[in-house]
Structure 1
């Protein structure tokens, strides 16, 4: 069964927006909305997108909000001139459109899932199932999100297709590669920065390491025995680093380490570094893909206006209770 799934996955991805099932619609999304999961809910640059693809993102966004609010939020709350209900519906739409654009661009550039991709996806599945307490437990958890194994791996496939497109953006002569100077222009406009970071499990270890690094700035942070090193390249305020971490960098020279910054993962030390050009090129590509998604032509079926975020999520919760 597992071999059959992986062998068919590439074809499933290409067909995910096409065709109609003959059996009676069912599942979490249908119970929540009355819309068949395979019904075309929207079209992105002529690519038909089934309702299940959108409802996955809407369910995930609602679950996140409920988790953050420790209860169902006020869907009428104002969010930048929209109700929260409208905002969440649009956020789910943005994610759906983005990955539809990824899939279409992958097709047009002959990017397909390789044997290595499929093997990696199988390994990902096995690891996730083990972390959930076994395959049955993982499938039960996925069903609460409206997914089965095949549906979950379709979303996983998008990640691998995206990485194939990213690889093309690094290839000379590819139409996805940046023109001369494009990355530098983007980096300047976006105010990209690169920093060396060291993460420690507690403040005492961070203080000792900082003292040693101050005494000898030539020490290689990657050889730290107590801290975990990472090079980070980001846009200010994009959430890659906390606002406290970014503030700690203010006024530091390239050989200075910041004061310790407390994070949920541990104690962080940071040092400004020359811009990582490879990482900057990757962020440029991400920005180009986002621009493609924002410029995509999206049309909706009449069913798209038949539900609100609140009505859909109420249906999800009802269906979940009924499944227990």
Structure 2
């Protein structure tokens, strides 16, 4: 399953954070210079919480960077007016930045609601990560911060949100926590999301499909005659051609062929399939019980995403007039001339 939604952002923040408490000495950030206004002022109100402009601009710059990289790799010329959905590419990056900002803000709102605050262990993990990431020198990390329009203080703020998320994630997996789902909720969620845990005996077709089919038939016969089918299945799966072992999939995530996903979803817990033939070879599946901890984590991420999508967002004239293409052009120019940003 690929439900964890904060990993990339958290890793980025950890790399760039926990440098101490300095705030950049009052220097105007690249984000503020590119936007042309004070990025410390409130730009958005999300869920009743005031959000300073720099947090939104940080995510806007990140979205623009990603688009620029994709265009560069494809060899195409970046066109901010290219049609995307019902709007333009510029509209899409602006909306993506708003979604990212809302998601981080929702984490803070939930941390307040459920009473989670950073622990000593959280703070220690930041320090440890910083020590590891600055092995090549602290100045280089600080320059990277500046290129993203961040100060030490701002990077630590973003990193702290990632750690709040991790703490809330653990809460949802802790029995008796106000965030922990019931078993009924987990079961309903698994069905709704198409989540299935399976093991597989797999014989690749290779250059001799008949030999692979014969191996599958022999394995199927051994399963049918086994006193302990689960034990025999595990042994056969380990000896066959699929090294992945038991895995939890979400129908449509591509971890298995569509035909195998459909067959897995149709099995009852503990039940084995027949021999399933695909272009890759021959498979026998066994449905396993879902990992409650993993399922609870996936449930939490979906609830968080839904809450962030539904949270109230108030914008204003400054946000409405913000042009992503103009902002990013100015930001790139500033990045190329760091000596002029002081």
TM-score norm. by structure 2 comes to 0.70
Matches of 1:105 and 1:223 in 2, distance apart?
46
The change in CA–CA distance for 1:164 and 1:84 in structure 2 (over 3 A counts) is same
Shift of 1:180: 4.9
Among 11, 32, 42, the alignment partner of 1:40 is 42
The change in CA–CA distance for 1:87 and 1:293 in structure 2 (over 3 A counts) is same
Gaps of 5+ in 2: 1-16, 201-205, 207-211, 220-231, 265-271
Q: Give the secondary-structure state (helix, strand or coil) at the position aligned to 2:50.
A: strand
- Establish whether residue 98 from structure 1 lines up as the match of residue 114 from structure 2: no
Matches of 2:324 and 2:65 in 1, distance apart?
11
Among 149, 153, 157, the alignment partner of 1:150 is 153
Q: Higher Cα Rg: structure 1 or 2?
A: 2
Cα deviation digits, residues 206-263 of structure 1 (max 9, x gap): xxxx99x976742397899x967684444x34xxx54x744474466658899898xx
What residue in structure 2 maps to residue 51 of structure 1? 53
Mapped contact 2:195–2:248 kept (Cα < 8 A)? no
Among 61, 68, 74, the alignment partner of 2:70 is 68
Matches of 1:185 and 1:125 in 2, distance apart?
41
Gaps of 5+ in 1: 13-20, 198-203, 205-209, 262-268
Q: Give the secondary-structure state (helix, strand or coil) at the position aligned to 1:181.
A: helix
The change in CA–CA distance for 1:221 and 1:72 in structure 2 (over 3 A counts) is farther
Shift of 1:183: 1.6
Q: Give the secondary-structure state (helix, strand or coil) at the position aligned to 2:187.
A: helix
What residue in structure 2 maps to residue 107 of structure 1? 112
The change in CA–CA distance for 1:251 and 1:306 in structure 2 (over 3 A counts) is closer
Cα deviation digits, residues 57-103 of structure 1 (max 9, x gap): 11111111111111662111222112111111111101101111111
The change in CA–CA distance for 1:142 and 1:232 in structure 2 (over 3 A counts) is farther
What residue in structure 2 maps to residue 218 of structure 1? 234
What residue in structure 1 maps to residue 195 of structure 2? 192
The change in CA–CA distance for 1:173 and 1:123 in structure 2 (over 3 A counts) is same
What residue in structure 2 maps to residue 126 of structure 1? 131
- Establish whether residue 163 from structure 1 lines up as the match of residue 163 from structure 2: no
Q: Give the secondary-structure state (helix, strand or coil) at the position aligned to 1:219.
A: helix
Mapped contact 1:33–1:307 kept (Cα < 8 A)? yes
Q: Give the secondary-structure state (helix, strand or coil) at the position aligned to 1:49.
A: strand
- Establish whether residue 297 from structure 1 lines up as the match of residue 297 from structure 2: no
Mapped contact 1:249–1:270 kept (Cα < 8 A)? no
Matches of 1:25 and 1:301 in 2, distance apart?
26
What residue in structure 2 maps to residue 320 of structure 1? 335
Cα deviation digits, residues 129-162 of structure 1 (max 9, x gap): 33xx432222222322222333223222112111
The change in CA–CA distance for 1:169 and 1:28 in structure 2 (over 3 A counts) is same
The change in CA–CA distance for 1:303 and 1:170 in structure 2 (over 3 A counts) is same
TM-score norm. by structure 1 comes to 0.73
Q: Give the secondary-structure state (helix, strand or coil) at the position aligned to 1:42.
A: strand
